[in-house]
Structures are given as structure tokens and as C-alpha cells.
């Protein structure tokens, strides 16, 4: 199926042909803007989107394209302006509200992001990504119950969304529903063992077990996490700490020395190594 999707080069060739023939100029200019965006040529993309608007100042796809490009370049104010213009011209397009919400989210304007993600879900209630993004915004504003509801809706729409499952688990921890969180994290690891979210789930579980005082279970999950992230000093430190609490000084020293190699300036690691008498 991918072979049926035109490449940027094919789109450019077709759009330039249309321009030479004077056919559908704003659409052709916008197609060029999209193609050059896909090629990573952002300034050239902006040029063609702006040329499209010179031909038709009310052409929503060109405003939308500019919004995306300016967002990519970190010019968030210009991104927001152009996406608002696109929404003014095409108010029924849920995706535009999603993009505007993303721009607000990147600015840390979470209340504004919540409003726009909400519009997106109203226009397209089956958009699992919009529900997931809305849940993220609610979580960052501390509205955990609403975040939970939208993560649940995300998973209802897309049961294979591993990020939503991970985030839902962490919201459950924040709500004090630790047993439910643990079950979801174990499900994530069992059913999707190779994805990054499952690897992160092992770290979360290890941390939870340390908080619960179960250092043996914590050690087991941090051992798995250390295989996934061998150069992460925090995981090496936590693993060393678990071994130390469990009365296993040799592996404790091994992992704490590894943590010190990766992060020489961590005073906690130095203190524990001094306690062990294994400082280099």
C-alpha cells in the first residue's frame, strides 16, 4: 500500500506541472508547501504556503500548513495565529483544533489546550489521539479524574495504545489506586514486551515497589530495566540500593560503581559507596 502513496518528489513534479498550466493554483502551491515540509525544507515550505495565500487569502489548507511549519520552527505565536485563521475558515475540521491545542500545549498553556482538544473530541468523538492528548493536559493541570476518564476513552477506542495504558497507570498511582495501576503495568509488560512504554513500565513498577518497601520485587524489575537502559544512572543507582537493602553488598557495589561512572557528580551514589567501603 505504501508504494501507492506519492513521494514528495512526485507531488512536486505534479504541482509544478499544474502551475505551468495555470490549474488550481492555490492547491498546487499548498501541495508544494506540504511536499517541501516533508523533505525538511521548511523555509521553502513557508514560501509556497504564503504564495498560495497570495492567490487566495481565504484558503484554509495554506493557513493550516503555515501553522504546522511555524510550530516545527518553534515560532509558536505565528503557528497559533495561522491555525486560528484555518479554523475560522474551516470550523468543522477537528484536526485543526488538535493542531492548535498542540501549539498551546507546547507553550504550557494547558487550559487553552484543554479547550481546543475538547472542541476536537466534540467534532470527532472517535479520535483516540485527541482524547489521549486531552488526558495529558488534564493530568498536567492536576485534574486527575478527568485525565483518567479520557485515558480510558482512548483505550476504549484504541486498546493497543500503550502510551495511554502507561499514563493511565501513573494517574491511578497518583489517585492512590496502586493495585489497579500495578495490574495495568503488568499487562503492558506482558502483552507489549518490546515497546518503549513497557520498558518504562518496569521502571515505574520498580519505583512503586521501593515505595511499598518491597525491595526484592523492586530489584527484579530494576534488573529488567537495566537490561533495557544499560546507560541510565538512576536505574543503576536504584538497583544498587535494592541490593544494599537486601544485604547483597557485591552486586550493590557493582551497580553503584556503574552509576558513579555514568554520573560522577551524584553525592548519593558517593555516600552509599563510602558506606560499602567500595569507593574507587
Q: What is the DSSP letter of 126?
A: T
Task: Please give the Cα distance from 64 to 54 (Å, whole number).
Answer: 15
Mean pLDDT (the chain, rounded): 93
* Joined grid coordinates for residue 215: 525491595
Q: Where are the chain's structural domains?
A: 1-91
Residue 2 pLDDT more than 60?
no
C-alpha cell at 254: 557493582
Q: Which of helix, strand or coil describes residue 39? A: coil
Answer yes or no: is pLDDT of 255 > 90: yes
Residue 21 banded pLDDT, cuts 50, 70, 90: confident
pLDDT at residue 264 tops 50: yes
The yes-or-no verdict on residue 24 having pLDDT over 80 is no
Q: What is the pTM of this model?
A: 0.84
Q: In this predicted model, which residue has the larger pLDDT, 5 or 94? A: 94
What CATH number does domain 1-91 carry, 3.30.70.1520, 1.10.287.3510, 1.20.840.10, 1.25.40.10? 1.25.40.10
* DSSP, residue by residue, 128-159: HHHHHHHHHHHHHTT-HHHHHHHHHHHHHH-T
Task: Give me the pLDDT at residue 187, please.
Answer: 97
- Count helices and strands in the chain by DSSP H and E runs: 16, 0
**Statement: residue 137 has pLDDT above 90:** yes
With bands split at pLDDT 50, 70 and 90, how would you rate the model's confidence at 278?
low
- For residue range 141-173, list pLDDT tens digits in order: 999 999 999 999 999 999 999 999 999 999 999
Which pLDDT belongs to residue 5? 81
Amino acid at each position: 500500500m505504501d508504494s501507492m502513496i506519492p513521494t514528495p518528489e512526485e507531488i512536486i513534479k505534479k504541482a509544478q506541472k499544474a502551475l505551468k498550466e495555470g490549474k488550481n493554483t492555490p492547491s498546487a502551491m499548498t501541495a508544494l508547501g506540504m511536499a517541501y515540509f516533508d523533505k525538511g525544507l521548511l523555509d521553502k515550505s513557508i514560501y509556497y504556503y504564503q504564495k498560495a495565500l497570495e492567490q487566495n487569502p481565504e484558503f484554509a489548507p495554506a493557513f493550516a500548513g503555515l501553522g504546522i511549519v511555524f510550530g516545527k520552527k518553534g515560532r509558536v505565536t505565528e503557528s497559533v495565529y495561522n491555525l486560528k485563521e484555518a479554523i475560522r475558515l474551516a470550523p468543522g475540521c477537528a484536526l485543526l483544533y488538535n493542531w492548535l491545542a498542540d501549539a498551546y500545549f507546547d507553550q504550557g498553556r494547558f487550559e487553552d489546550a484543554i479547550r481546543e482538544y475538547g472542541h476536537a473530541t466534540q467534532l470527532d468523538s472517535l479520535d483516540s489521539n485527541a482524547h489521549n492528548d486531552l488526558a495529558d493536559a488534564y493530568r498536567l493541570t492536576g485534574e486527575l479524574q478527568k485525565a483518567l476518564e479520557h485515558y480510558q476513552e482512548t483505550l476504549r477506542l484504541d486498546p493497543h495504545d500503550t502510551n495511554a495504558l502507561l499514563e493511565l497507570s501513573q494517574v491511578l498511582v497518583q489517585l492512590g489506586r496502586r493495585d489497579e495501576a500495578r495490574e495495568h503495568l503488568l499487562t503492558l509488560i506482558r502483552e507489549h514486551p518490546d515497546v518503549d512504554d513497557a520498558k518504562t513500565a518496569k521502571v515505574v513498577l520498580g519505583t512503586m515497589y521501593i515505595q511499598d518497601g518491597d525491595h526484592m520485587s523492586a530489584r527484579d524489575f530494576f534488573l529488567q530495566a537495566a537490561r533495557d537502559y544499560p546507560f541510565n544512572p538512576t536505574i543503576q543507582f536504584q538497583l544498587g540500593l535494592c541490593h544494599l537493602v537486601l544485604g547483597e553488598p557485591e552486586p550493590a557495589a557493582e551497580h553503584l560503581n556503574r552509576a558513579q561512572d555514568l554520573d560522577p557528580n551524584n553525592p548519593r551514589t558517593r555516600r552509599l559507596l563510602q558506606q560499602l567501603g567500595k569507593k574507587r
